[in-house]
Structure 1
């Protein structure tokens, strides 16, 4: 199983490059990064950690409802060169970079300034946590979630390593607990920030790997994140750790981004399911076509807009699941946050720890497309308000106000006058069904010679997904709507937003022999692209093939 494999650690660049894809000159970037690290820090790096961005082919905003998704890692990535820094005992510890576990972080992009920070060991306390700060048991490291900076994602990755390897609870003698070593980092990235290609998850995964590698933890047994047994760090464990880490910057991620960045291989997309446990299986993509990513150039900042965007959708889908379960007679614990995936499972008699087979789940999703209508408010005229107020939502949940607040609002900030339980649930069930249909079409093509009919079917599913994202989940924007329509006009089989939405990128399924003419037409018809040529154009629109997942290169 892919999630149970160890993190690849390469000592041979040829083997590494052969697993990254073919369209980028990887060797130049890696060699330039290592040389720049040597110039800045006076020695070569000990490691380079890599984590790719990802493109979600279909399955938007359903991972945190525990439904499967179908992303692929892309060749564009985050690279972090790193190495331990010697700090003589005689140096004054009041200097940040002389402290145990201190970090000097630099970025090749000139707009990002050098940062120095150090974690501080902290005794357990009942002291209230201040706004904009995140704490881990035994450690203190500031992350301002109100104004994210590039180093916030580096710090987020560091937290996971501190929490799982250096917390006082990891040692029977807290005074003798091991301390992390000082680290120098140099970061570069080719995943556009705010593009919907998961640059933030790639940054968190890469920084987590960098701190693990420098502290010698990739080869050390890790206490399981879910049990008391111990085992070597696996890709699945890294996904879970990275999910926890990204939440420290204020985003409640469902896990798709991290799983795609870590588990992918260079030959396929991934069908990633999250229930009852994380599982990833390869899905071969049809020959004769490629996916083209196009940046709308609208920056989507999930953290800044979370209260009215991403985090609000998480709450709406969770509350919608409780209300739907009640309407269908499905038992839910008073303080349980049941998901839409668990509703369909319990309705169909799925036992604890069991998993419906794909055929059963598909039939269940077809049924839920009808059952979800019980969430639609009664007597609302066409075009009328389908949302409910906070008071109405609490009443529908069947919970007391204080219990509702504890279960659904105590861990996240949201802001809305009306909550769209019906629209969100309708999208989630329809989108989950499209994922299974997309997956099955790809498998059918792989088992046969393939045909343009199959590509048209995939494109139709992508177009339906875009319509649902725009109208039901309301996570699109005018620029994404325009760009997807222009893509269809330019000959794409299908086109949709990818990532959280509200800006960022589209992904289009395009015939392999039409890629250049497709890109040229988009350049000529999408106003923000006009006049772009060469590298400037390739930065905003590019074809991609699946890439391998996160890895580490170890220098001699």
Structure 2
């Protein structure tokens, strides 16, 4: 983190010819299990990872906001009074959307100064590791401190979700921001997306000699368009036809009635959500009673459900999962919103090289783009970076 923080400070100084007031960080996340359940008021089980977005920031003496990033030469400049979802576009909608959303949650934007901010990150973009939420959470934590807002972490998660929903236009749930803000080392966040109750559950991967391998397929996905929004609409339609306000009001015992009530496609979408909620509960219980070696079958079952019922996988993700399992992984699944991004595999340290080599060879044999493979560990949530 010190290297990334130093880089962000240097980038800020280069762009704005002064020193930042501070540097704040927020991690990306891996969702261990619980996919597309968050916006259905269900259960999720993500953890913050040891890759983060950082923002170097300093207040100004006027009401101008200037935002830059390490990945473009652009300087986005806007007045505080002009920040609305309709005025935002491109990458800057993520940090500037947070400014607007803070106002929606009670911050008096007429009483705060503008600021300069420079953003840097080592969270891979488009890999299903929530680089977007990492930006939102780093900015929200920074502004909460600089502006003296006094907002708690649960509120900041809702701020980030509102920014992504309204300013960016991606109909995502609250999981990503919650993981980034609430995560702890070697633990995952068991989150009830209806009540927003969160419990930190030890993972015990290190003690068990396990690592989580991320396989970034480089197949791009965009949550603001296409299949993600279509899947959310299917869930909402299924809930209406089943006579409930949310799929959270149903469980696996309702599947027989759902099969009689819904068309085949909608039924399969709903079956994924109901069984995935149960898999999250089963994973938490299994970790507590049997330890991490016993959760592999649940991870793999989650992937099959996303592949067959929710239909959000792609050939590259399926190949990554199938190959990792054949090479000795305890369990594997795609992670994130789908239609690309990354798969994860829970692997014994002694078998990491064999699994990695097998995945690389399988992708080469299919003439797929060479994936990036790296391990992640569960890390602490957002904080000051220095």
| Alignment TM-score, normalising by the size of structure 1 | 0.65
**3-state SS in 1 of match to 2:129:** coil
In the alignment, structure 1 residue 246 sits paired with structure 2 residue 164: yes
In the alignment, structure 1 residue 58 sits paired with structure 2 residue 33: yes
Deviation at 1:196, TM superposition (A): 0.7
**3-state SS in 2 of match to 1:157:** helix
User: Structure 1 residues 134 and 106 mapped into 2: Cα distance closer, same or farther (>3 Å)?
Assistant: closer
User: Structure 1 residues 520 and 121 mapped into 2: Cα distance closer, same or farther (>3 Å)?
Assistant: closer
Residues 37 and 44 of structure 2 are in contact (CA less than 8 Å); yes or no, is this contact kept in structure 1? yes
Paired position in structure 1 for 2:181: 262
Cα deviation 1:195-237 (Å, max 9, x = unaligned): 11111111112222233333232xx4xxxxxxxxxxxx21111
- In 1, distance between residues paired with 2:355 and 2:82? 55
More displaced 10-residue stretch of structure 1: 282-291 or 499-508? 282-291
In the alignment, structure 1 residue 152 sits paired with structure 2 residue 93: yes
Paired position in structure 2 for 1:285: 203
The answer for unaligned runs of 5 or more in structure 2 is: none
User: Structure 1 residues 210 and 112 mapped into 2: Cα distance closer, same or farther (>3 Å)?
Assistant: farther
Residues 47 and 213 of structure 1 are in contact (CA less than 8 Å); yes or no, is this contact kept in structure 2? no
Cα deviation 1:315-368 (Å, max 9, x = unaligned): 21122112123xxxxxx6xxxxx00112x3xxxxxxxxxxxxxxxxxxxx3423
- In 1, distance between residues paired with 2:256 and 2:23? 50
Deviation at 1:530, TM superposition (A): 8.9
In the alignment, structure 1 residue 181 sits paired with structure 2 residue 113: yes
**3-state SS in 2 of match to 1:69:** strand
**3-state SS in 2 of match to 1:105:** strand
**How large is the RMSD of aligned CA atoms in angstroms?**
2.4
Paired position in structure 2 for 1:508: 345
Paired position in structure 2 for 1:483: 320
Paired position in structure 2 for 1:119: 80
Paired position in structure 2 for 1:163: 104
Residues 105 and 184 of structure 1 are in contact (CA less than 8 Å); yes or no, is this contact kept in structure 2? yes
The structure in which a higher percent of residues are strand is 2
Residues 195 and 504 of structure 1 are in contact (CA less than 8 Å); yes or no, is this contact kept in structure 2? yes
| Alignment TM-score, normalising by the size of structure 2 | 0.91
- In 2, distance between residues paired with 1:284 and 1:163? 34
| Within-5 A mapping of 1:439-478 | 439-446=284-291, 455=293, 457-478=294-315
Which residue, 88, 91, 112 being the options, matches 1:143? Answer: 88
Paired position in structure 2 for 1:79: 54
Deviation at 1:442, TM superposition (A): 0.5
Which residue, 215, 220, 239 being the options, matches 1:321? Answer: 239
- In 2, distance between residues paired with 1:531 and 1:427? 28
Which residue, 328, 336, 339 being the options, matches 2:246? Answer: 339
Deviation at 1:529, TM superposition (A): 11
Q: Max radius of gyration: which structure?
A: 1
Paired residues in the alignment total 382
| Within-5 A mapping of 1:182-197 | 182-197=114-129
Cα deviation 1:117-169 (Å, max 9, x = unaligned): 223369xxxxxxxxxx725xxxxxx124xxxx21111111111223335558x
Which residue, 143, 154, 167 being the options, matches 1:211? Answer: 143
In the alignment, structure 1 residue 38 sits paired with structure 2 residue 18: no
Paired position in structure 1 for 2:223: 302
Paired position in structure 2 for 1:91: none
Cα deviation 1:39-98 (Å, max 9, x = unaligned): 3323321121211111111111111111111111111111000011345xxxxxxxxxxx
Paired position in structure 2 for 1:367: 253
Cα deviation 1:429-451 (Å, max 9, x = unaligned): 111111111111101135xxxxx
**3-state SS in 1 of match to 2:338:** coil
